[in-house]
Structure 1
């Protein structure tokens, strides 16, 4: 017989564990189903990966960072250890239980198919993370088979790639960090650039994140964006590696990385780029000025002196529009992620054209009692982040408690 459980949370990353904590505070019986181990998705990142936000921005309910290095940047293994300890205290996680299918029952509630078992639940909270499936852009489909194409989850370290130059496709934090690591290791690196914003790691004695968290930046809601697709926009270029440092197109160029316009297509061994490097750099610089204006606003609102933030120095934007990839060791693609909800949740109309759940306050509009936590821009820009997901977990747990007629 199927097991009956009032509330099931799918996923034991920061979103699922924060939700479990908040459900537990309200006395709501539940379990957390995790395909692998709590926090395991962090271990899937490359070897040298660190948080981009300082450790003190880890503010999960019941699991805020309390170590002796609040201004440092935890490694992927340290983040995973933090989440495993969190899960151990909560005591609700069933590890090694992937959910292969989820569908509504005829008279309410849901059935979930795991390995050989079926679970019935009145309420389901999907907390499978903001980074579910690496995006492989159409531009690389024509790549010759003798040049390996590696996505951001397949890259581990420079030694793990075949010898030869490397083309990095992408412009966000991951692409920049990988390009930097490859260049520092002695690789010849070419980068197909996008329009990601950038800023200085520290200004006026404060970290970039501290300035942004004191502003309305992370409070931005989806309806305040220019387009729905803007939810996929790249984060500000930065790195937590080596204690945190500046990382952007100018620092990469100084390391010898060859900057190109955005990738149009790869035809066998020929990569073609748009002649738009100047426009790409200008777009990133516009992001720099936006963050600079944000810092100035925080200073003025708080009565603080405005730090000196110089204009970006000129950068050579001449670049070829074709590149012969014969002899290249690999192409590394780091162009963001997309959801995979519809691969295992059988609910028509579940997501919009961008792959985001269609919801009201985290609850599906087409499937009552099906909730989402940990989705990028679910309620606000910070919804999937280690300092923001706790608020969404609280809101969802309260909504579930009201539905089950329990104290909130």
Structure 2
């Protein structure tokens, strides 16, 4: 085919930039299309967002963290600055404000439609992030007619919400972090929580993530997991805000957040919740213990200073019904994100969960199409700063060959 570019990379976040770095090193002609600007997915999150993994886990090829706080947690704007400096460091050929609205197979290659016109590429690497579409449960539609509903992707700060009590819905990191921030700002907060593992922020002076790295946690592959649905499971609750600290359902309750079970429906003025708070707390408690015990074992095996025996108050938490809708100022829905690849016009491109069917980044449905930044592409760390570079190298080597 006659092509405008050999390789088109779509997305200029950590995945797209890592691919661009590796292609540049291998001398492969390419261009990076980005719908907004470098690191835009991070720039559009809430104001106080921080990394939940230590800075030293930023291991982009040629863009490793080299700052003065390897055990700290970069704030949102610092993450964006790091990515922009990374792109500049090797002259990444990024064309900003160039969204790809459709990608279609065309004469042995691909046609990428953009508002500025179509571009033909022999091969394409899709790096549009781990998740692209915020998930809003069906009950949010009738709820929005009664009270302002804000997705976690829209939330910016406590001051950005209307006055009055706030109901946060969700069981993952975003829901817990937003609930903690709202409570710390003096807002009355209720959290309709789901089940998620909890992680000790520090064990024997080391970050919990460092112990998990030693335990091989991030090297798990999808084949190691009991079900492929792990790709939609919440990550361990953690926060890097204010220097990092434990963030669990128990710490939220102690701070004054009213907890309940999952939202199941909206009935008139009432938010209906399940009687499952105890089960969700138990999931967090068990994960917390497992990580602590793993650190104890690793320390003994390696001659490191190990933690003291774990002592925690694991008494039952009291569930409190969410406030009536008529009393709420806003509802923040943080129920996670889902993949979105309908803009790629390839039949059977994705599996039953909406993720691309791929082998080491190469689409198994059509030649010349690759993915990087996909959850569990090769391992648990595939979309993370600590692992995306390795996946980028895998795909770049295939393209160079």
Query: 3-state SS of the aligned residue for 1:190?
Result: strand
Measure the CA separation in 1 of the matches of 2:315 and 2:165.
23
User: What is the aligned partner in structure 2 of residue 280 from structure 1?
Assistant: 280
What's the counterpart of residue 148 of structure 2? 148
Partner of 2:80: 80
Cα shift readout 1:47-70 (whole Å, capped 9, x = no counterpart)? 111111111111100110111121
Provide the C-alpha distance between the structure 2 equivalents of 1:199 and 1:74, rounded to a whole number of angstroms: 19
Match of 1:353 in 2: 352
Alignment of 1:262-341 (within 5 A): 262-320=262-320, 323-341=323-341
- Cα distance, 1:40–1:224 mapped onto 2, change above 3 Å: same
1:80-114 Cα offsets, whole Å, 9 max, x none, are 011111112232111111111101114x1111111
Deviations 1:257-299 (A, max 9, x none): 0110111112343101111111111111121122223323322
Relative to structure 1, is the Cα distance of residues 309 and 400 closer, same or farther in structure 2, using a 3 angstrom cutoff?
farther
Distance of 1:380 and 1:276 partners within structure 2: 31
Q: Is 2:31 the partner of 1:34?
A: no
CA deviations over 1:204-241 (Å, ceiling 9, x no partner): 11001111111210001112212111111111111101
- Match runs of 1:64-103 below 5 Å: 64-91=64-91, 92-103=93-104
CA distance in 2 between partners of 1:380 and 1:138 (Å): 32
Q: Quote how far apart the aligned CAs of 1:323 are.
A: 4.4
Report the CA distance between 1:17 and its aligned residue: 0.3
**2-structure distance, mates of 1:318, 1:294:** 30
Q: Distance in 2 between matches of 1:68 and 1:62?
A: 18
Between 62-71 and 262-271, report the one with greater CA deviation: 262-271
SS at match of 1:326: helix
- 1:192-207 counterparts in 2 under 5 A? 192-207=192-207
Tell me which residue corresponds to 2:233.
233
**2:394 matched residue in structure 1:** 395
Distance 1:93 1:401 in 2: 20
Q: Kindly tell me the number of residue pairs found equivalent between the two proteins.
A: 400
Residues 334-373 of structure 1: CA deviation (Å, up to 9, x unaligned): 111111111x110111111111110111111111110000
User: What secondary structure, in the 3-state scheme, does the structure 2 residue paired with 1:138 have?
Assistant: coil
Tell me if structure 2 keeps the 8 A contact 1:143–1:269: no
Alignment TM-score, normalising by the size of structure 1: 0.94
How far apart are residue 309 of structure 1 and its match?
Answer: 4.3
Counterparts of 1:391 and 1:302, CA distance in 2: 27
Give the 3-state SS of the residue equivalent to 2:119 in structure 1: strand
Unaligned runs of 5+ in 2: none
**Which has the larger displacement, 142-151 or 34-43?**
142-151
For residues 165-176 of structure 1, the aligned pairs below 5 Å read 165-176=165-176
- Give the distance between the partners of 1:182 and 1:119, measured in 2 at CA: 45
The residue matched to 1:331 in structure 2 has which SS? strand
| Cα distance between partner residues in 2 of 1:267 and 1:383 | 41
1:20-31 correspondence to structure 2 within 5 Å:
20-31=20-31
Are 2:200 and 2:292, in contact at CA under 8 Å, matched by a contact in 1?
A: no
Check conservation: 1:134, 1:337, Cα contact below 8 A.
Answer: yes
- Shift in Å, 1:39: 0.6
The 5-angstrom pairing of residues 238-253 of structure 1 reads 238-253=238-253
Output aligned runs, 1:369-380, within 5 Å.
369-380=368-379
Distance 2:125 2:315 in 1: 47
Residue 183 of structure 1: aligned partner: 183
Partners of 2:298 and 2:395 in 1: CA distance: 31
